């Protein structure tokens, strides 16, 4: 994917167009640039956006060193009134996008600030986009690593009450990613971005099966952006490991396109499926138990082969061997499932029960669901013929020197097993975890 393709996609979305999905897609991001020697020109870029006076920078101690100090100096030299919030981070203490972090940001952003600059990657960007939405202020994204797909997104995943929730948020007014900074990002952040992108394989498949089985809204144009991003970055993972600038640029642009696809769909469906449910589950347990296991995209990456393996097992089913009535008796009734969820999730259970109420099926409902799935089996199999095998994605992860299994991240075995059973209840959306449970694979 060359920059011209990103520019063409952005130009079409700025103009707006009627899509075959039945919606009109239009993006509010004014400018996206991924190139070298960009930081010093940010004052001119902001003036081009109509921002001329006071700006508030948001960074952490690492991203301030990576890009924030240069941006701050350039803005002050250009006559901007600059204030800042810099979160303290260490090797053993990552920034968490929780109530405490949000409250600090609200208190420290001056009323006079005309715009907010998010200088960082996932957590910094999510905090800023959530606050920008609440305050009605524009924000500009200055990414410091190609580590996640949320730079262009209109939602923010935040930790509230120990539970990972997705909130409506503002897209950036512009994204200015300096390629020199991106190429110097820590290797684990490049691996995380690649892992997040690989998760689009199973996210796309999950959306397709939900469309086939439940008639869920589906946008092929938004998935076209995802496909473009995947083709670029999965073709030469080893080049990412070598920090080839053209491939780092391709990864960053692919992650931005993924965020734009989320905007087009109106939710994270094109970019988030069962693989993200596993990652969210592990993150929630990490927070609850006071431990931390790697970046979000890294967990998505190792979850993707697990989900692809489940797809292989589901698609290998001989539909003639399925006895819907026999399966009916092996499934907990709604009241039994509620008790299992309460026991497993504890204080978070009530919210999870509300979120996934449609997933607790009676025996009769499950039998009917299986009959429905079997009636569409040929369509499901033919629609998913493009899915890669789990081994292929594992090999891609190994080529970037990334972890290839959850165990390699230090995740306890029971976390992995229980995630496959309980993570599906974290979101209302239908994924292969639901299909596999209904068909007796899980």
Mean predicted confidence (pLDDT) in 327-334: 78
Look over the chain and give the mean of its residue pLDDT values, rounded to a whole number: 90
3-state secondary structure 281-341: HHHHHHHHCCCCCCCHHHHHHHHHHHHHHHHHHHHCCCHHHCCHHHHHCCCCCHHHHHHHH
Cα distances from 294 to residues 95, 187, 200, 253, in angstroms, run 12, 12, 19, 23
Other CB atoms within a 10 A radius of the CB of residue 264 amount to 23
Which residue(s) pair with 159 in the sheet? Answer: 164
Q: Which has the closest alpha carbon to 107: 126, 80, 135?
A: 135
pLDDT digits (tens, 9 = 90+) for 200-256: 999 999 999 999 999 999 998 888 887 877 877 788 898 898 999 989 998 998 898
Q: Which fold has domain 3-185?
A: Rossmann fold (3.40.50)
pLDDT of residue 91: 55
Mean predicted confidence (pLDDT) in 382-409: 95
* Beta strand 24-25 pairing with 17-18: antiparallel
Domain range list for the chain: 3-185, 274-438
Whether the per-residue pLDDT at 6 is higher than 80: the answer is no
pLDDT digits (tens, 9 = 90+) for 144-178: 999 998 898 888 888 888 777 888 898 999 999 99
| 0.85 exceeded by pTM | yes
Coil, helix or strand at residue 11: helix
DSSP state of 405: S
C-alpha 282/C-alpha 296 separation (Å) is: 9
> What burial class does residue 81 get, using C-beta atoms within 10 Å of its C-beta: 0-12 exposed, 13-18 middle, 19+ buried?
middle
pLDDT digits (tens, 9 = 90+) for 277-291: 999 999 989 888 877
Whether the per-residue pLDDT at 364 is higher than 90: the answer is no
pLDDT digits (tens, 9 = 90+) for 431-442: 999 999 988 888
Q: Which has the closest alpha carbon to 22: 219, 237, 250?
A: 219
């Amino acid at each position: 994917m060359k920059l011209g393709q990103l520019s063409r996609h952005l130009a079409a979305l700025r103009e707006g167009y009627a899509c075959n999905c039945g919606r009109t897609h239009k993006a509010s991001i004014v400018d996206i640039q991924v190139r070298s020697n960009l930081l010093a020109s940010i004052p001119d870029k902001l003036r081009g956006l109509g921002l001329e006076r006071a700006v508030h920078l948001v960074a952490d101690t690492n991203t301030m060193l990576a890009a924030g100090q240069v941006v701050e100096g350039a803005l002050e030299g250009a006559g901007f009134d600059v204030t800042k919030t810099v979160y303290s981070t260490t090797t053993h203490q990552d920034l968490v996008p929780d109530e405490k972090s949000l409250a600090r940001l609200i208190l420290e952003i001056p009323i006079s600030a005309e715009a907010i600059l998010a200088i960082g990657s996932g957590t910094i960007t999510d905090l800023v986009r959530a606050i920008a939405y609440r305050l009605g202020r524009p924000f500009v994204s200055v990414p410091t690593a190609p580590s996640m797909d949320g730079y262009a997104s209109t939602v923010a995943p935040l930790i509230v009450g120990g539970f990972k929730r997705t909130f409506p948020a503002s897209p950036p007014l512009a994204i200015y990613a300096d390629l020199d900074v991106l190429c110097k990002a820590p290797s684990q952040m490049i691996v995380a971005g690649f892992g997040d992108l690989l998760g689009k394989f199973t996210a796309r498949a999950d959306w397709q099966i939900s469309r086939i089985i439940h008639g869920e809204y589906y946008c092929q144009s938004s998935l076209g952006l995802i496909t473009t991003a995947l083709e670029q970055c999965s073709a030469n993972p080893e080049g990412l490991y070598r920090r080839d600038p053209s491939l780092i640029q391709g990864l960053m642009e692919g992650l931005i396109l993924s965020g734009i696809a989320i905007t087009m769909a109106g939710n994270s469906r094109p970019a988030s499926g069962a693989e993200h449910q596993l990652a969210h589950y592990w993150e929630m347990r990490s927070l609850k138990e006071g431990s931390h296991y790697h970046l979000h995209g890294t967990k998505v990456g190792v979850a993707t082969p697990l989900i692809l393996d489940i797809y292989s097992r589901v698609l290998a089913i001989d539909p003639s061997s399925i006895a819907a009535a026999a399966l009916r008796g092996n499934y907990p009734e709604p009241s039994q499932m509620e008790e299992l969820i309460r026991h497993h999730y504890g204080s978070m259970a009530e919210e999870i029960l509300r979120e996934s109420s449609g997933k607790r099926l009676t025996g009769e409902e499950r039998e009917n669901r299986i009959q429905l799935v079997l009636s569409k089996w040929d369509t499901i199999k033919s629609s998913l013929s493009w899915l890669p095998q789990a081994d292929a994605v594992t090999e891609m992860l190994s080529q970037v020197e990334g972890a290839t299994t959850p165990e390699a991240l230090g995740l306890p075995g029971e976390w992995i097993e229980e995630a496959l059973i309980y993570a599906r209840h974290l979101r209302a959306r239908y994924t292969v975890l639901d299909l596999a449970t209904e068909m007796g694979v899980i």
